[in-house]
Amino acid sequence: MSRKMPEIPSASLADIAFMLLIFFLVTTTMDVDSGLRRRLPQWVDKEQEDDTDINERNIFVVLVNKNNDLLVEGDYERIDNLRERAKEFMENPFDDANLPEKEPKEIPYFGEVMVTKGVISLRNDLDTQYGTYLAVQNELVAAINELRDELAMRKWGKPYSNLDSEQQDAVREIYPQKISEAEPKGKI
């Protein structure tokens, strides 16, 4: 058996590879799925819903009606201003009597800090557009994220996302993401 095997032609290899390539181009997608991450509250039955009274000054009421207008703390507001308003509410830098109370809390790295008791309450109409709703949510989340970032910059000189997890926990405790969504009513 001294006969040599003929070499397999490899000219069609490129064609085969191209075919595979095109198959993968067609059947796959490249989009990275990203979005606004939220956590829904636990389901509670109607009877055992707790009506814990929260002081009026501790609630930041945002209403969105069916025409996609915003009512923030009783007056009309444009969506561009919402972030500033929410930040002012959560921070309450001058201990204004109309803005939320604060309570002292022991927090690692910071010692005793005055932590706001403020809660953001968001309520929308059943006919509100989803786009507007998400824009409002985005502004509220952005407000809290900015506060966290500012605090992290002041304390460690780097943004919140670059802190280690314990530091992040501490910052999160000072500025919790308390956004509650009330059940929408037919009309506001």
Partner 1 sequence: MSKFRKDGGKELPPISTASLPDIVFMLLFFFMVSTTMREVTLKVKMRLPEATELSKLEKKSLVSYIYIGEPQPQFQKTFGKAPRIQLNDQFADVSEVQDYVIAEREARVEAERPMIVTSLKIDENTKMGIVNDVKQELRKSAALNINYSSRRRAER
* C-beta of 1 vs 36, nearer to partner 1: 36
* C-beta of 58 vs 132, nearer to partner 1: 132
Closest approach of partner 1 to the CB of residue 139, in Å: 9
Closest approach of partner 1 to the CB of residue 42, in Å: 7
Q: Which residues bind partner 1 (CB under 8 A)?
A: 10, 13-14, 17-18, 20-21, 24-25, 27-30, 32-43, 124-131, 133-135, 137-138, 141-142, 145, 184
Let me know: does 47 contact 106? Beta carbons within 8 Å: no
* C-beta of 58 vs 145, nearer to partner 1: 145
Residue 20 C-alpha from the chain's centroid: 40
Let me know: does 98 contact 108? Beta carbons within 8 Å: no
- Cα 121 from Cα 109, distance rounded (Å): 30
- Residues 6 or more apart whose Cβ sits within 8 Å of residue 28: none
* C-beta of 24 vs 94, nearer to partner 1: 24
Closest approach of partner 1 to the CB of residue 22, in Å: 9
* C-beta of 176 vs 184, nearer to partner 1: 184
Closest approach of partner 1 to the CB of residue 2, in Å: 28
For residue 72, the SS3 value is: strand
Closest approach of partner 1 to the CB of residue 123, in Å: 10
Closest approach of partner 1 to the CB of residue 185, in Å: 11
* C-beta of 43 vs 94, nearer to partner 1: 43
Element (H, E) at 155: helix 130-156
- Residues 6 or more apart whose Cβ sits within 8 Å of residue 122: 62, 64, 136, 137, 140, 179, 180, 181, 182
Task: Transcribe 78-97 into DSSP letters.
Answer: -HHHHHHHHHHHHH-TT--T
